[in-house]
Structure 1
C-alpha cells in the first residue's frame, strides 16, 4: 500500500477524549482513544492484505468496482478501521465512569438504561457518512453491516441505535471518518463506483475485519496515548502498520505464496513415497489443469481405492495455487480418525515441498488439525509444543527454513483456537469445521474468509446423509463465490448427487462418462470437462456368499475360518452385536483364545481383537493402533516398553471383530471377511479391505481367494432388520434394494461392479423390483415412501439450516445465532451406537443425529479416580483451569455416548463439576464432559445397567 497524502486537520476536543479500550474500566487507566483503535485495526488489515496473494487484493478491488487495486485496498482497510465507529456514542462512552466523565465535559449525555451494541451503532451511523462522501446507499449500508458484525453475528440495523445522539455527536463521528480517510490518503478520492455489494464481498470484508480486530486488540495499552493520530494520522498509521507486521510475525501469519512456484513432475513431487509411480488419474488431472487458465475449478474425482485420489488432489492444489493465486489448502474428511490419518500424510507432503524450494525463497508452513479431538493427537500436540518453544512463536514473513523437511511444518498456537483455525494457510480436519462457515454460528464469516481463495478438498463425500449433503452443496456455492477451487473425491457418486454439485458451481451437468471418471468445471464455463479415467488398474474378483446373521453362528464361522489360517475380519452394524460376537468367539475358543491387547503371536492360540467406538479415547486409540499394527502394511513400527520396534507382526491366525469404524477410517488388509448386510456402497467399502495389500500374497492361510460372507443375504431381510436392529442404523429401503441387487450373484468384480451397483440401489427412478413377491413389493413400496419422505425432510432441513445462497443471503432476515454447535461425530461410529432406546428428536448442526453426551468413566473407591486401581485422581471439582496436562489425561478417558437413558439423566441431573474458575466446568476441554461414576466398574442409570469392561468397552444392559 503506497504512502497516503494527508489533508491537514485541527482535531476537536471531543475526538481526543472518546475512549475505545481501558485496562481498568473503573479506574480509567491504560486507556486507548477511539481513533487510535480504529487506525490500529486498519493497520492490521493493511498488514494482513500485504501478505495475501495478489488475487485476494484483486477480489477486494472487484468488490468495490475500483480498477486501481492499491486504492481499493486502502478503501477496504479504511472500512475495517471504521468497525468501531459506534463506540463514538453515548451508548458506549458511559460504560467507564472515570473515562466518561471527561467525555461529558465536551459532549451531551443522557441516562442509559439499555445500550445498543456498538457494532449495531456502527451499522446505523456509518452509511449516511459514506453517502455524504459519494458512496452508493446500498453499498454503504451493506458494507457497514459487514464491519459492524465483527463481534460474531449479523444483525438487523436498529431504527434508533441509542439515545442522546445529536448534532455534536454527529460532528465528532464525521470527524473520525475524516481522520481515518486522511490516514489512508482517501479524503480527496472519489468514492468507489460500486452500485451493489454481493454476498461474497460481505464475507470478505466481514472476515477480514474480525481478523484484523483480533490482531489489533492485542496491542498493549501503554499509559497515556500518543497525540500523533490527531495531528498526523498517516504517520501514526505507518507506525501502527509496523506494529501489526510484528504481531503477525509473532502469531505466524506469513506471506501467502505458492508452496511450489514451479511444480515438479508428479513422480518427482512424490519421490519421498517409496516406489511411487504416477497413476492414470493423477496424470490425467495434471494434464487437464496444465493450462494458463487462472480461473478456479470444481473437480469431481470418482474412482475406487488404490487410484491415488489423495496424491492427485495434492498435486492439483500445487497447480491451482500457481495458476489461480490460491493461498492454501484445507482437506475435509468425514471423521476424526480419517482426519488424524490425513494429518500425518499432509504434514509429510507439505514438509517435503517446502524443503525443496529454492534457498532464496524459503517458507514455513503452518498446518492445523481441526476437529474436536485434536487435543488427543500426539503428533499435532507435539507440533504445537515445538512451535510454542521456537522464539515465542516469532517468525519472519519468509523465514529461513533450510534443513530437515519436518522442520518446515509448524502448528501456530494462535491458530489452534477453533474460530481462528481456518485462517491458517493449511489445515486438515473434519468436514464439519468447514460447514460451520455456512451455518448461522458466531463468526461464520471468519471461517468462510479463511476458506476463500483457497483449495478445499472434500474427501469420501459418499459418507454423508441427505441433510449434510445439502450443507455441502451450500458450501460449494459459497466457495464458488469466494473464488476457491473445490476438489470432491468419492469412490462413486449417485448421478443425482453429481448433477447437484455441478449445478452448485453454476455449470450445466453433462452425461457422466464411464466409471471411473474425472470432471473439471471451470468458473464461467457453461459445461464441464468430463473424462473416463483409463487403466490399467488392479481388478479383483471377490467370491460372494450368504451366511447366518445370528451372533453365535457368525462367531462359529469366524472361528472355523481362522482355524484354517490367516486373518478374519467381522464387521457388524452395531456395537452390541460386536460385543456379543466377541463373547461368543471367546467362549468357543476356550483356552485357545488370545487377546490381541495382551499379546500377538502364539503357535497354539488364535488372536482375537475387538474394535468399536464405545471405549474411552485412549483405549480406543490403542486398539486402533493394534489393528494397523497386525493388519496394516508390514513390517510395522510400534512401541514396546516405550521403545520403537519394527518387525513383521502379521498374525498367522487372527480374528478382528469391528463396527463401522473399520469401514473407511483404517488402511488394513484381511484375508477373509464376514459382514452384516449394509447399503451397497458401504458393503463395497468393507469389501475393499479384502486382499488390499499385494505384499501379503502367499501368506493368507486357506484364503487365497478373497471371499465376502454377507450375513442376512440368504432370506428376505425384513425380519433381520428388526431382530438385529439394522433398521435403526440404515434405511430399510436401501437394505432391501442392496439385498435384491446381490441376489443370484456369486462374485463381485471390483472396481468394475462398484458404480453400476451403487447407481442401481440409489437411483430414485428405479421402479419397484419385479422379481419380488407381492408381500415383498408392498414392504419395499412402504420403505421407499419412508425413505423418500426422510430425504425430502432432510433436504428441507438442510436448506433451512444454512445461511442462504450467495446471491440472496443479504436479502434474508437475520436469524439468532446457533452458538457453537459441534455436529461432527467425535466417536466416528454414530450409527453403531444407536439402538431402540435412541432419542427420536435430532439435533441440528453440521449433521443430523441423536443427542449425544461426552462422559468420563470415574471409579469411586473412597475418592474419585480415572483408573480402577486408584492411582490418578479425577479432579472433577479441583482441576486448575490452566492445567492442560491433567485435562488431557482426563479427556483421554472420555467417550461419546448417545444412549437415551444416559443423555436424559445428565440433562435432568447435571453433575457438580466445579465453577467458573476451577474444576471440569472451568476447563475448555472438559466443560461439556460429565463423570460416569462407577462402583466395581458399573452403575445403574434409569433402566440401564452401565459397565466398563477392559475387553468389551462400555456395556449397556436393559433392566426390566
Structure 2
C-alpha cells in the first residue's frame, strides 16, 4: 500500500543513516575530526549521529505539523487555530525552542552553564541545516500554547530519550566544559555544518527513502531500511565516492615531453601529508599547469588529499583548462571499479561523468516550500536547485575546474557556504593567475588559506611575477596557521625569478630559484602606436601578409568598437572574430574553440593565415595560444607581460608552420602598444584623454605611467631576466610618480584600503564558529563576488518567448540554462535589467531549477547579439 507521508522519526533515522554511511565510506574523515576535537572515534560517531537525529527537532511542533492538516496527513491532535509562518518561526529556528523547553522539563544534560552553552552551540550546527546558522533565541513566547504545546515537548523528550537508547549510551558530554574543546569545536563547526546539510539533503531523497507511515521498531527500521538505503543514496551523489590514488611513476610516465625546470621541481620537491603551500612563479608558457598537476599527484599519494579543485580567475577560458586537466586526472585517481572519478567543469557545459551530472534528489508532490513567502524550502528542493548549478557542484566532485570565486564563497556569509567548506575538505586546491587578484580578493584569499590549512588542506598558487610584499604576506598567513614563527623571505633579489616558494610544517619556509624553460626566454621589442586608426591599419597589413594578429583591448566596449571598424576594412570580414567575457556561454565556447583552432599550439599555417582577433583580457588568461602580430592597449606591466607571453609563444617556421623541435624562424617579435604620447610631466588627464575606459578599468594612471616609462626607457620586454625588475619598477613602494597623477593614485590606494577592509567586513569570523554572530549579513547564494575592488557581479540567464511561456535563449537538449548564461559586473550594468515577473520566473524555475540563483531576462529587452555579445548602448566603460 502506498504511504501518504513519511513519519518524522523515520526521516531523522534516514539522515543519521546517511551520516553513518559517510563515516564508513570515509573513515579518515571520522579520524580527522575526532583527533582534532581530542576525543575517540567512537565518541565522535555517537556525538555526530546524535546531532543528526535532532536536526529537525523544530518539526516536532504543532505549528509545523499544521502544514499537513489540509492534506489529512496529521496523526496527532492540533490546537484549534494553530498555523505555521516562517517569518515568526522557521522549523530550523524552532529547534532551539523545543530543545530549551524539553531541557527545562526533564534535562538530559547536567553540567556548568558554560558546558550547556557549548553543547547547545553544537546542536545549533545541525539546526542550521538549511544553509544558514540559526539564532539561538526564543521565537515562541511563553504564553503561546498553540505553536509549541506541552504534548510537543513531551514528544521531543521521548524522542531524545529514544535516541540515547538507540545509540546504546548517552553521548559522552564531559568535554563540553573544556574551553580548548569549545574552541576546536567552533573551528570545525563549519565542516560539521556542511556534513549535516549534506546528510539532510541525501536523507530526503524520496526516490530512495520511500515514504513509510506504518509503525515499526526503530532498530528494525534503522537496520533493515535506513542503512541500506543510505548506502545507495550517497553512491548516487558521488560526493563521497571511493577513489584510489594511482602511483606516481615520474613526469615522463604522464607526459610525452621532457620536464621544464619548474616541472622537475614539482617532480622532486619533498612532500608530506601535512598542509603545504606552494607558490610557483614562472613565465607564461613554462608549463605551470602541468607542474601543478604533478605536484598535486604527489601530494595525493602522500596522503595530503583525495581530490583536487582548480580555480581560475574567470570562466571565460575554462574549457581549455578543463581539457588539460581532463586529459590527465584519470592517471592520478580512479573511481569505483577502476572507472574515472567524476570531474565537473563549473559552468556546467562539460562533465565527463554522466552519473554525477544526473545526481539529483527525488521529489514528491508534497515537496513544495514550507513557506513560499519566506523562501523556506524542503531539503530535496534545495538540493535539486543547488546540484543543478554546476558552479557549486564542481566543488563537491572529486575533481573540479571552476573559478576562484566559488572557493572564496566558502568564507562569505552566503547560504550553503558550509557545503563549499565540505567540498574543500580533502582537496588539493590549485589557484591560477594569483597575480591578477586585487586587494579585496587577496583579503578573502587570506581567510580562505586559514580555513583550508586548518582543515588539513594543501594549496598550490600559480602566478607570474608577484610583488615581494604580496608573496611575503601569503607566506606569513600559512606560517601563522601552522603555528610557525613568521620568517622573512630570503630570495628577494631582482634576479630571483623563476622561483618556487614552499611552506610546510616539517621544513618551514623553502625558496628555490629555478632556471627558465629553454625556449621561453623572450626579448620583445616594443613600439608605441598612438591612434586607433594606425592600429587598425597594422592589423589590415598583417592580414594581407597572411599572418594571424590580435588586438587586446582593455574593455568590452572598446573591443566592440574596434571590431566594427576592422570588419569594414577587411576583404573577408569572416576572418575577424570578437572575443570577450560578455557572451552567453554557448557563444563564448564557440569563440574559444575558434581561437584555439586558429591561434592554438597545433594550428597550421593555413588555419592561421589572415585571421585576426579583437579580444579583451580573457585572451591572456589560461589560453595556450600564439599570435604572429600583437597590439595591446597600454595597461599595467604584469598584464602586459601576460599578453606578450602570447606573442610568438610557440616555435614556428617563417610561414607559421609549427616547428616544435627547432628555432622560431619568424621575424623577432615586436609588441605594439596603443598608448598616449609619453611625457615626463603628464597632466592629470594624460591617460583619461587617451582612453577613458582604461582609466576606468585600472584607476591607476600613475602606475600605468611607470609602465610606459619603463618601456620608453628600455624599448623592450626581456624575460625572464628583467621580470622582477619590471614589477618592482612599477609597483615598488618607493617609486616616484608625477605630481599630476599622484591624486588619482592616492584615491586608488584609499579605495584599495577600503576594499581590503570591506573584505574583512564581508568575510566570516571563522573563530566564532557556525553561528549568526560570525557575520551579521547572511544573504542568499545568488551573487558572485567580483575581482575588482569588491565589485559584485550578477549572473543573467537570457530567455526567449515560447508561446505562453519562456525558454532558455540557447536551445539545447541539456544544460540550456548554463549555455544561455552571461555574467555582468557592476551595479551600473545590471541595474536597468528588465527581469521576468514573479509568475513567469517561478514557472521557468519549475522547468529549470538551475536558474533559481540567477536573474532571468528576456533577450529582446537587452542589447545582446550573437555577433557582439552584450554591448553597452550608453558607451560607458565596460568590464573585460
794-803 or 330-339: bigger deviation: 330-339
Tell me which residue corresponds to 1:838: none
Tell me which residue corresponds to 1:878: 805
Equivalent pair of 2:308/2:399 in contact (CA under 8 Å):
yes
Tell me which residue corresponds to 1:251: 237
Tell me which residue corresponds to 1:208: 195
Distance 1:133 1:104, change over 3 A: farther
Aligned runs of 1:148-163 on 2, under 5 Å? 148-159=127-138, 161=140, 163=144
Equivalent pair of 2:552/2:616 in contact (CA under 8 Å):
yes
Distance 1:705 1:243, change over 3 A: same
For the pair 1:510 / 2:488, whether they are aligned, the reply is: yes
Structure showing greater relative contact order (alpha-carbon pairs closer than 8 Å, 6 or more residues apart): 2
For the pair 1:263 / 2:248, whether they are aligned, the reply is: yes
Distance 1:246 1:159, change over 3 A: same
Distance 1:341 1:186, change over 3 A: farther
Q: How many residues align?
A: 810
Secondary structure at the aligned position of 1:472 is classed as helix
> Whose helix fraction is larger, Structure 1's or Structure 2's?
2
Equivalent pair of 1:303/1:491 in contact (CA under 8 Å):
yes
Aligned partners of 1:900, 1:64: CA distance in 2, in Å?
Answer: 44
Tell me which residue corresponds to 2:23: 49
Aligned partners of 1:86, 1:413: CA distance in 2, in Å?
Answer: 24
177-186 or 461-470: bigger deviation: 177-186
Distance 1:952 1:615, change over 3 A: closer
Distance 1:697 1:61, change over 3 A: farther
1:669 CA displacement = 0.8
Distance 1:460 1:238, change over 3 A: farther
Q: Deviation per CA, 1:114-149: give whole Å up to 9, x if none.
A: 552232233355475563389932430221111110
Tell me which residue corresponds to 1:81: 53
Q: Deviation per CA, 1:189-248: give whole Å up to 9, x if none.
A: 56556541433321121111111111111144444334211xxx3772464112100122
1:733 equivalent among 702, 713, 725: 702
Equivalent pair of 1:539/1:749 in contact (CA under 8 Å):
no
For the pair 1:182 / 2:165, whether they are aligned, the reply is: yes
Tell me which residue corresponds to 1:242: 228
Aligned partners of 1:101, 1:248: CA distance in 2, in Å?
Answer: 30
For the pair 1:119 / 2:92, whether they are aligned, the reply is: yes
Distance 1:523 1:234, change over 3 A: farther
1:38 equivalent among 2, 6, 12: 12
2:398 equivalent among 410, 425, 435: 425
Aligned partners of 2:267, 2:509: CA distance in 1, in Å?
Answer: 16
Aligned partners of 2:739, 2:807: CA distance in 1, in Å?
Answer: 61
Aligned runs of 1:179-578 on 2, under 5 Å? 179-187=162-170, 191-192=174-175, 195-196=181-182, 197-219=184-206, 220-229=209-218, 233=219, 236-237=222-223, 239-260=225-246, 262-268=247-253, 270-271=254-255, 275-290=256-271, 293-354=272-333, 362-371=338-347, 374=348, 377=349, 379-380=350-351, 383-384=353-354, 388=358, 415-417=387-389, 420-505=393-478, 506=480, 507=484, 508-513=486-491, 514-523=496-505, 527-535=508-516, 537-578=518-559
Equivalent pair of 1:83/1:148 in contact (CA under 8 Å):
yes
1:384 CA displacement = 3.4
Distance 1:608 1:183, change over 3 A: same
Aligned partners of 1:744, 1:267: CA distance in 2, in Å?
Answer: 43
Equivalent pair of 1:60/1:204 in contact (CA under 8 Å):
no
1:168 CA displacement = 5.7
Q: Deviation per CA, 1:408-445: give whole Å up to 9, x if none.
A: xxxx9995545554222221111111122111111111
Distance 1:93 1:161, change over 3 A: same
Aligned partners of 1:812, 1:326: CA distance in 2, in Å?
Answer: 31
Structure 1: 5+ residue stretches without partners: 1-22, 24-28, 393-411, 598-606, 637-646, 770-776, 832-841, 859-873, 935-940
For the pair 1:820 / 2:811, whether they are aligned, the reply is: no
For the pair 1:660 / 2:638, whether they are aligned, the reply is: no
Aligned partners of 2:866, 2:203: CA distance in 1, in Å?
Answer: 52
With the length of structure 2 as denominator, give the TM-score of the two structures.
Answer: 0.83
Equivalent pair of 2:799/2:807 in contact (CA under 8 Å):
no
Equivalent pair of 1:289/1:316 in contact (CA under 8 Å):
no
Distance 1:320 1:570, change over 3 A: same
1:157 CA displacement = 0.6
Equivalent pair of 2:16/2:53 in contact (CA under 8 Å):
yes
For the pair 1:62 / 2:41, whether they are aligned, the reply is: no
Equivalent pair of 1:143/1:205 in contact (CA under 8 Å):
no
1:916 CA displacement = 5.4
Secondary structure at the aligned position of 2:189 is classed as helix
Q: Deviation per CA, 1:742-799: give whole Å up to 9, x if none.
A: 2311222112222221233223x22424xxxxxxx21232122112101111001111
Structure 2: 5+ residue stretches without partners: 363-383, 658-663
Secondary structure at the aligned position of 2:273 is classed as coil
Q: Deviation per CA, 1:244-288: give whole Å up to 9, x if none.
A: 00122233345444422x3222221x14xxx32222223323433
1:728 CA displacement = 0.8
Secondary structure at the aligned position of 1:744 is classed as helix
Tell me which residue corresponds to 1:938: none
Secondary structure at the aligned position of 2:222 is classed as helix
Aligned partners of 1:536, 1:878: CA distance in 2, in Å?
Answer: 57
Aligned partners of 1:96, 1:728: CA distance in 2, in Å?
Answer: 56
1:45 CA displacement = 0.4
Distance 1:921 1:178, change over 3 A: closer
Distance 1:38 1:483, change over 3 A: same
Aligned partners of 1:308, 1:255: CA distance in 2, in Å?
Answer: 31
Secondary structure at the aligned position of 1:442 is classed as coil
Q: Deviation per CA, 1:603-631: give whole Å up to 9, x if none.
A: xxxx4433334555444433332222111
Secondary structure at the aligned position of 2:656 is classed as coil
Secondary structure at the aligned position of 2:345 is classed as strand
Aligned partners of 2:433, 2:55: CA distance in 1, in Å?
Answer: 40
1:712 CA displacement = 1.4
